[in-house]
Amino acid sequence: MSKRVVNFNAGPAALPLQALERAQREFLDFEGTGMSIMEHSHRGKDYERVHNEAIALLRELLQVPDDYQVLLMQGGATAQFAFIPLNLLPPQKSADFILTGVWARKAFAEAQIVGKARIAANVEGEGGRCTRVPTQAELQLDPEAAYLHFCSNNTIMGTQFHAFPEPPTSVPLFCDMSSDILWRPIDVSKFGLIYAGAQKNIGPSGVTLVIAKKSLIASGREDIPKIFRFKEHAKENSLLNTAPTFAIYMMRNVLAVVKEQGGLAAMEKRNLEKARLVYELIDGEPGFFRSGVEKASRSVMNPVFRLPSEELDKKMVAEAAAAGFVGIKGHKLVGGIRISQYNATTAEQVAQFCEWARGFAKRNG
Ligand code: PMP
C-alpha cells in the first residue's frame, strides 16, 4: 500500500482507513451487482439499502429519539445557515444567536437576511477572533425567540462548548455541530435541531446532516420553494431529488467503523486522550508554544496554538509535513498552528506528533 500521512486537515479531513478500504473493495462491483454504487439509481433497491443503513447507523450511534427526523441534505452547513431561518423563523418572531466565531457569525448574518435575528451573547474580539465561549450567565435570552442558535465547536478559533447553552423552556436549541458531532454521546432530546456538514466526523463532503424534532419540521413555513422545505425532504426520506449517493455510501462506511470501534463512548475516550496529549504538549513548553484559548473553552477537536514568531509557525508547518504530519497550519484569520484531530485520528498518531513537536521546540527554542 502507498504511504499514508498523519492527516490533521480541518475538513475535509482524515477518514477511517477501514472505511476507505471497504470502498476500495466494493468500488467496481458493489455487492455483486456488476457496477459501482455510484452508478446505481438513487431510486433502486441497492442504493436504498445503503441510504437507509447510513440513517439507521446514525440514529443508533446518537440514540436519536423516535420523534426526531434525520435528513441528509446538500449545500453544506452554509446552506443550513439559510435553510433554517427560511423554514423556522416566521416573520413575527426573532431568533437568538450566540456569536463565538466565523461560522456562528455567518449563521447570524444569513438569518438577518431572512428575518429578525438578535445577539444573545458575543465573545468576538479584535478582527472577529475569539478565545473562549460565553458562560450561561452571560447569555441574554429572549424568552419569545423562535430558537437559540449556537455553534458547539469553533473550528477556526479552537474553542468548544463543554456544557451546552440552556435556552428558556419555550425556546428550542439549534446547533451547528459541523466539527464536533459524534465526538462523544449527547442527549439529542435537548435540541430542537442539530446540523453538520459531513466532512469532519461523518464522512466526505457533499452530504449535510440535519436532525430535527418532527414537530418543528411540521411547523415549517410553506411559502418557500419545495426544495428548501425540510418538510418535503422529510416526506421523501431525503430522496426528494438525486441524493449525493457516493457521499452517503461513504458516510455509511464511516459510521459502520465507528460502531465497530465501540460507538461514541469509545470515541469520547479516544478524543479526550488525544486532547490531553496535545494540551500537555502546549502547556509543557510555555516558553515556546502559546495557547490563546481560555482553558475552560479549549476544543477537543481543534486545539490551536502559536509559536514565538510567524517564521517559526511556517517552519513548523513545513518540517511537520516533511516528517509526515500534514495539515497543521492554522486558519488564516488566527494564524499559528491547528491540530484538527477528528474521530479517525488515533491517539497513537497524536502521540507521535507530540513527540516530534517536542523535538522541534528543543531545536528551535
Ligand atoms: N460550521 C462549522 C463549525 C464549520 O467548521 C464549517 C466548515 N469548516 C462550516 C460551518 C461550513 O461548512 P460547509 O463548508 O460544509 O458549508
For ligand 1, atom 2, which residue shows the shortest CA distance?
178
Kindly write down the DSSP assignment for every residue of 203-218, as one continuous string: SSTT-EEEEEEHHHHH
Tell me what pLDDT residue 140 has.
Answer: 98
User: Residue 196: exposed, middle, or buried by beta-carbon count in 10 A (0-12, 13-18, 19+)?
Assistant: buried
Residue the block writes with cell 446552506: 79
Residue 228 and residue 109 share a domain:
yes
Residue 195 and residue 142 share a domain:
yes
Residue percentage of the chain with pLDDT more than 70: 100
Residue 238 and residue 251 share a domain:
yes
3-state secondary structure 67-135: CEEEEEECCHHHHHHHHHHHHHCCCCCEEEEEECCHHHHHHHHHHHHHCEEEEEEECCCHHHCCCCCCC
**Ligand 1 mean position to 186 CA, how many Å?**
20
- Position 4 in a domain: no
Is position 96 annotated as part of the catalytic site? Answer: no
Tell me what pLDDT residue 192 has.
Answer: 98
- Position 1 in a domain: no
CATH assignment at residue 272: 3.90.1150.10
Identity of the residue numbered 111? A
Residue 330 and residue 253 share a domain:
no
- Position 293 in a domain: yes
Residue 145 and residue 170 share a domain:
yes
Identity of the residue numbered 88? L
User: Where is the domain boundary, 260, 287, 319?
Assistant: 260
- Asked whether residue 169 carries a pLDDT value surpassing 80, the answer given is yes
Work out the average pLDDT over 168-176: 98
26 lies in which domain range?
18-260
Tell me what pLDDT residue 134 has.
Answer: 98
C-alpha distances in Å from residue 150, one per residue of 83, 178, 217, 345? 15, 11, 19, 26
Work out the average pLDDT over 35-51: 98
**Ligand 1 mean position to 238 CA, how many Å?**
21
- Other CB atoms within 10 A of residue 117 CB: 21
Is position 176 annotated as part of the catalytic site? Answer: yes
CATH assignment at residue 188: 3.40.640.10
206 lines ligand 1 (CB under 6 A): no
- Position 22 in a domain: yes
User: Where is the domain boundary, 210, 241, 260?
Assistant: 260
- Position 3 in a domain: no
**Ligand 1 mean position to 124 CA, how many Å?**
18
178 lines ligand 1 (CB under 6 A): yes
Tell me what pLDDT residue 1 has.
Answer: 56
Is position 116 annotated as part of the catalytic site? Answer: no
- Asked whether residue 270 carries a pLDDT value surpassing 60, the answer given is yes
pLDDT one-digit tens code per residue, 2-19: 789 999 999 999 999 999
Work out the average pLDDT over 113-141: 97
Q: How many domains does the chain have?
A: 2
Residue 153 and residue 35 share a domain:
yes
User: Where is the domain boundary, 241, 260, 279?
Assistant: 260
Residue 158 and residue 305 share a domain:
no
Residue 227 and residue 342 share a domain:
no
Q: What does pTM read for this prediction?
A: 0.98
For ligand 1, atom 10, which residue shows the shortest CA distance?
77
- Position 182 in a domain: yes
Residue 244 and residue 108 share a domain:
yes
94 lines ligand 1 (CB under 6 A): no
Work out the average pLDDT over 22-36: 98
Residue 140 and residue 29 share a domain:
yes
Active-site entry in 180, 183, 200, 213:
200
Residue 256 and residue 158 share a domain:
yes
Work out the average pLDDT over 241-250: 98
Atom of ligand 1 nearest to the CA of 156: 5
Residue 63 and residue 151 share a domain:
yes
